[in-house]
Structure 1
Amino acid sequence: MKKYKKILIDAILFFVIIGLTLYGVFHGEDLSGLKDAIKESNILWLIPAVPLVLFFIAGESIVIWHMLDCYGIYVKERLCFLFSAVGFFFSCVTPSATGGQPMQIYFMKKEDIPVPIATVILLVVTITYKFVLVVVGIGLWLFAGGFLAEYVAEARWVFYLGILLNVGCVILMCVVVFHPSFAKKTLILGAKLLERIHILKHKEERLDKIERSMNHYHEAAEFMSSHWGMIARVFVITVVQRFAMFAVTYFVYRAFSLNSMNFFEVMFLQAVISVSVDMLPLPGGMGISEGLFMVIFKKVFGEALLIPGLILSRGLGYYSELFLSAIFTLVAVVVFQVREHKKSKVK
C-alpha cells in the first residue's frame, strides 16, 4: 500500500510541476508567434537529435552489458537496453531520480540477475555518471571563466551550487564505497541520534538495512579496485553518453539558421544547465531547467527565438527521452512478463 501511495504522490508532483512549468514558460507569450517560429525552423537540423537521445539511453545499456559480462553473466544487449530505458523513465518522473535504480533492480531480478550484483553495477554506473558531471563542471569553472562570465553570470550561483552538490555526492559515495566500515558506524550513530531526539522511531530492521547496504558498497569497492580497465571504459562511454545529450541543443540552435557560436560553445552551455540541476529534488529538473535555459541562452537565441529554442531543446532533450523511455518501459513490462510465463511453463 505504501508503494502505491508513493507512486501516486510522485505522479501528482510530476504533473503539478509540468503545469507550473508550462504556465511559467508560456504565460504572456504570443502562442501564434511561437508556432510560426517553430514551423519556420529547418527540420533537417532536428533529425539528428532523436538518435542522440536514443544513444543517451543506449549508453547506459552498453555499460550494464559489459559489467554483467565481467561477472560471467550473459544477457542480450536488447534486454540491457530495456533495463536502461526503465531506469531513465522512472528517474525522469521521480524527485532526484530516486525511482530509477530500484525499478532497474526489479527488472534485472526477473532475468535472474542476483540483486547484490545488480546493485553493485548500478552503484558503479551512478558514481561514474555523477563523476563525469563533476569533471565537466570543475573543468568549465577552471578553464572557461570568461566564457561563463559572458553567458552564465546571472545563473553562476546556481551553477556553483550544482558543482558543490555533485562534488559532495561523489565524495559521499566514494567514502561509503571505499570506507564502508566508517560509513556504517556513522550511519548507525546518526540513526540512533535521530531516534533519541524522536525524529525517527526505533526499528531494528533499519540497522539490518544499513548492514546490507554497506555489504553492497563493499562489493562495489572490490569490483572497482579489481577492474580498473573496465572502470576506465565505463567513464569514456559515460562521457560520450552525456555529451550526446548536451549536443541536442546545438542542432536546435542550427535549426533556426543561427551560426555565430560553434558546436562546443552551445554544448558546454547546455552542460552548465545539467550540472546545475542534476542534484536538485525535482523530476527531470523541471522548472529550474527551463528557467536556466532562458537566462543562459538569452544572448545565444535572442529574444525572438528564445522560447521556441527552449521548446525544441527541452522537448527533444528531455520530453522525447521521457516519451521514448516510457514506450520501452511498457515494452519491458510485456517482454519480461512473457519470459516469466515461459519460465514457469518449463518448470
Structure 2
Amino acid sequence: MKSIGIEIKKNKLINFAIILCISFGYIIFHFRDLNLNEAAKNLRQIEVSWLLLGMGIMCIYWFLEALVLCKMSNKTQTRQSLWKSIQITMIGQFFNTITPFSSGGQPAQLFMMVKNGISIGVGSSVLLMKFIVFQAMLVFSSIIVLLFGHEYLQSNTIPQLNTLILVGFGLNTLVIITLISIAKSKRVAFFIARSILKPVSFFIKRERYLKWKEKLDQKLVSFHEESNRMSFDLKLLFQCSVLTLVQLWLFFSIPYFVIHGLGIANINFFQVIAFHAFIMMFSSLVPIPGGSGGAEYSFSLLFGLILQPTILILCLIFWRFITYYSCIIFGSFFLFVAGKKQRKKSTIS
C-alpha cells in the first residue's frame, strides 16, 4: 500500500489469511463430529429475510458510527460531510478487522481526515473523543447487562464464565481511564508521545530529532486544546453517547435475527443481547486480528447453551459473516474507491 487506504500491503493479506485459518480451523475442529446431513437440512430451511434484516442492522451500525464521526468533526474548524465520514468509517472498519486489537483503524481514519484538510492534532482529538465515548457506552451497556441479565450469564457448566466477564469488564474500564487521562492531562499526553519518539533519537541526527520533537509538541498542543474544548461540549457528548448506545444495542441484537433466520423463534431477546455484549468484550481482548478464535470460542461457549450443534454452527458462520467479514468486504470497496480517486489526483497533478 503506497499510503494508508490506497493498496493492501502484503502483511495485510497475511493477516487476513491468519484470520481465515484460525476462524475456519476452530469451526472445523470444534464441530468435527457434527452431523453434516442434518446441518445441510437446516441450511435448506433458512429464512433469508431474517438474515437480510440482520445485515441491514449492521449497515445501520456503520451509519451511526459515521454520524458520530461527522458530528464530532463538524465541531472543528474544518467541516466534514456525512458521505466523507461514511467513507472514513468504512476504511477504519476494514483496518480494524485485519489488525491486532483493532489497532489499524484509527491511524487509517486519521490519514483520511488529514487528506480532507483536518490537522493531525484536531483529527487525533476527534478520534480519541469518539473512542472514549464508544468505550464508555460499551462499559455502560455491560453494566446494564450485568445488572439485569446476570442470570443468563451464569452456568454450572462454565465455571470460568464469571471470571472472564469480570476480566473483560475491568480491562475495558481501564482503557477508558487511560484514554481520559491522555485527553485531559497535557503532562500525560506529552510524556507518552515523547517516550515513543525518544528511541528515534538514536537513529537520526540531533537537529532532525529536535525538529520532529518541536512539530510533535505543536500537534500535541492542538490535540490537547481540541480535546479539552470537546470534553466541555456536553450537548455534543450527550448526542454522540445516545447514538453510540443505540449503535451498540443494535449490534448486540444481530444474533437474534440470525437465530430467527435458522427457524428458532422461541429465543429470549435480552438473553441474546447479554451473550453478544459479553462476546464483544471478550473477543476485543484477544491479540489476533478480529479476535479470531476468541470470538468463535466465546460464541460457541455461550450460544451452545441454548442452541443445538447443527444450528449453532450455521448461526456462528452467518453471525461472523455479518458482523466481521462484511466489514472486510464493504471496507475494501471503499478502500478501492479512495485509492482510485487518489491515483486520479496524482495523474492530474
Stretch moving more, 293-302 or 149-158: 149-158
Partner in structure 1 of residue 98 of structure 2: 93
Counterpart check, 1:269 vs 2:275: yes
Q: Deviations over 1:220-246 (max 9, x none)?
A: 432223311101111111111122222
Contact residue 19 and residue 290 of structure 2 kept, 8 A: no
Instruction: Specify whether residues 120 and 95 from structure 1 end up closer, same or farther in structure 2 by C-alpha distance, changes over 3 A only.
Output: same
Question: Could you say what the CA RMSD is over the residues aligned between the two structures, in angstroms?
Answer: 3.0
Partner in structure 1 of residue 132 of structure 2: 127
Find 1:80's aligned residue among 61, 76, 85. 85
Q: Secondary structure at the match of 2:74?
A: helix
Contact residue 130 and residue 166 of structure 1 kept, 8 A: yes
Of Structure 1 and Structure 2, the greater helix share is in 1
Instruction: Specify whether residues 18 and 74 from structure 1 end up closer, same or farther in structure 2 by C-alpha distance, changes over 3 A only.
Output: same
Contact residue 47 and residue 262 of structure 2 kept, 8 A: yes
Contact residue 301 and residue 309 of structure 1 kept, 8 A: no
Partner in structure 2 of residue 326 of structure 1: 332
Partner in structure 2 of residue 13 of structure 1: 15
Partner in structure 2 of residue 46 of structure 1: 51
Partner in structure 2 of residue 156 of structure 1: 162
Q: Deviations over 1:207-260 (max 9, x none)?
A: 938746743551343222331110111111111112222221110111122233
Contact residue 286 and residue 292 of structure 2 kept, 8 A: no
Contact residue 279 and residue 299 of structure 2 kept, 8 A: yes
Instruction: Specify whether residues 101 and 44 from structure 1 end up closer, same or farther in structure 2 by C-alpha distance, changes over 3 A only.
Output: same
Instruction: Specify whether residues 289 and 238 from structure 1 end up closer, same or farther in structure 2 by C-alpha distance, changes over 3 A only.
Output: same
Instruction: Specify whether residues 30 and 329 from structure 1 end up closer, same or farther in structure 2 by C-alpha distance, changes over 3 A only.
Output: farther
Partner in structure 2 of residue 306 of structure 1: 312
Distance across 1 between alignment mates of 2:160 and 2:76? 48
Stretch moving more, 303-312 or 259-268: 259-268
Instruction: Specify whether residues 91 and 314 from structure 1 end up closer, same or farther in structure 2 by C-alpha distance, changes over 3 A only.
Output: same
Q: Secondary structure at the match of 1:116?
A: helix
Distance across 2 between alignment mates of 1:135 and 1:120? 22
Distance across 1 between alignment mates of 2:158 and 2:246? 24
Distance across 2 between alignment mates of 1:18 and 1:57? 23
Contact residue 155 and residue 292 of structure 1 kept, 8 A: no
Contact residue 53 and residue 321 of structure 1 kept, 8 A: no
Contact residue 154 and residue 161 of structure 2 kept, 8 A: no
Contact residue 55 and residue 241 of structure 1 kept, 8 A: yes
Identical-residue share of aligned pairs (%): 23
Q: Deviations over 1:6-42 (max 9, x none)?
A: 9534432331232122122123244454333222121
TM-score (norm 1): 0.85
What one-letter code is carried by the residue in structure 1 that aligns with 2:263? S
Alignment of 1:194-343 (within 5 A): 205=209, 208=213, 211=217, 214-215=220-221, 217-338=223-344
Gaps of 5+ in 2: none
Counterpart check, 1:64 vs 2:74: no
Gaps of 5+ in 1: none
Distance across 2 between alignment mates of 1:79 and 1:221? 22
How many residues are paired up? 336
Stretch moving more, 326-335 or 58-67: 326-335
Distance across 1 between alignment mates of 2:140 and 2:52? 29
- CA drift of 1:88 comes to 0.6
Stretch moving more, 91-100 or 69-78: 69-78
Instruction: Specify whether residues 164 and 311 from structure 1 end up closer, same or farther in structure 2 by C-alpha distance, changes over 3 A only.
Output: same
Q: Secondary structure at the match of 2:266?
A: coil
Q: Deviations over 1:82-132 (max 9, x none)?
A: 011011100110111111111112222222222222211111111111111
